[in-house]
Amino acid sequence: MTTQQLTEQIQKKQSFLCIGLDVDLNKIPHHLLEEEDPIFSFNKAIIDATHHVCVAYKPNTAFYEAYGLKGWQALEKTIHYLNEKHPDIFTIADAKRGDIGNTSSMYAKAFFEDLGFDSVTVAPYMGKDSVEPFLAFKNKHTILLALTSNQGAFDFQTKQIDDKELYKQVLETSKTWENSENLMYVVGATKAKYFSEIRKIIPNSFLLVPGVGAQGGNLQDVCKYGMADNVGLLINSSRGIIYASNQADFAEAAAQKAQNMQMEMASILNHAD
Catalytic residue among 12, 27, 85, 96: 96
Cβ neighbour number for residue 7 with a 10 Å cutoff = 18
Closest to 181 measured CA to CA, from 204, 209, 200, 151: 204
Active site residue 96: yes
The catalytic residues are 96
